[in-house]
Amino acid sequence: MSKKVGVLNLRNSISAMYMKYGTLVSTVIDDAMKEVARESTEDLKAVRRFSQNGNPSGEYSADWTWKIEPAKRWIRKVVVYNDEHYRLTHLLESGHSKYLWGRPTGQTVRGYEHIKPINDKAQEHFEAAVERRIQEIGADQV
């Protein structure tokens, strides 16, 4: 779609187009962040391999959630976290020393990497989603 613009209004017209494009890209990024956060949360809820019994109560897995942090300047953050069992995330991911009645036994409990693979997948998916959606922005939208 073409639009006639006088020479004097050319700068204002180009500036308005860039502002509109920036708003569209910002919306695309926000939508992709929310989509990836939802998928990551569901992936973490599906993980149930922390013991021989396979996390039978499911409490740790069920408490994964996400939130969008307030924007600071140009920085936007979405955080995926375990709401109730946040203290266990590092212990389960990395492993820890084994204690019995408050004393170290000299043994270690191995870690179950469950956050890192999903984080890596989320980063790749986010980049792909943003690129795909930005390419879908047509000239008629700007």
Q: What is the pLDDT of residue 54?
A: 58
CA distances 59 to 56, 111, 118, Å, are 8, 18, 19
Domain boundaries, the chain: 7-136
Q: What are phi and psi of 13, to 5 degrees?
A: -65, -45
What is the per-residue burial (b if ≥16 Cβ within 10 Å, else e) of 20-57? Answer: eeeeeeeebbeebbeebbebbbebbeebeebeeeebee
Question: Is the pLDDT score of 6 beyond 90?
Answer: no
Segment 110-133, tens digit of pLDDT: 888 889 999 999 999 999 999 999
Q: Residue 53's pLDDT is what? A: 59
* Per-residue model confidence (pLDDT) at position 110: 86
Is the pLDDT score of 101 beyond 80?
yes
The per-residue pLDDT for 120 is: 96
Judged against a pLDDT cut of 80, whether residue 92 lies above it is answered with yes
Dump the DSSP string for 22-76. Answer: HHHHHHHHHHHHHHHHHHHHHHHHH---SSTT--SS-HHHHTEEEEEEEEETTEE
pTM of the prediction?
A: 0.77
pLDDT reading at 26 higher than 80 = yes
Tens of pLDDT, residues 63-91: 999 999 988 888 889 999 999 988 888 98
Question: Which pLDDT belongs to residue 138?
Answer: 72
Q: With 0-12 CB in 10 A as exposed, 13-18 as middle and 19+ as buried, what is 80? A: buried
Mean pLDDT of the residues in the chain: 86
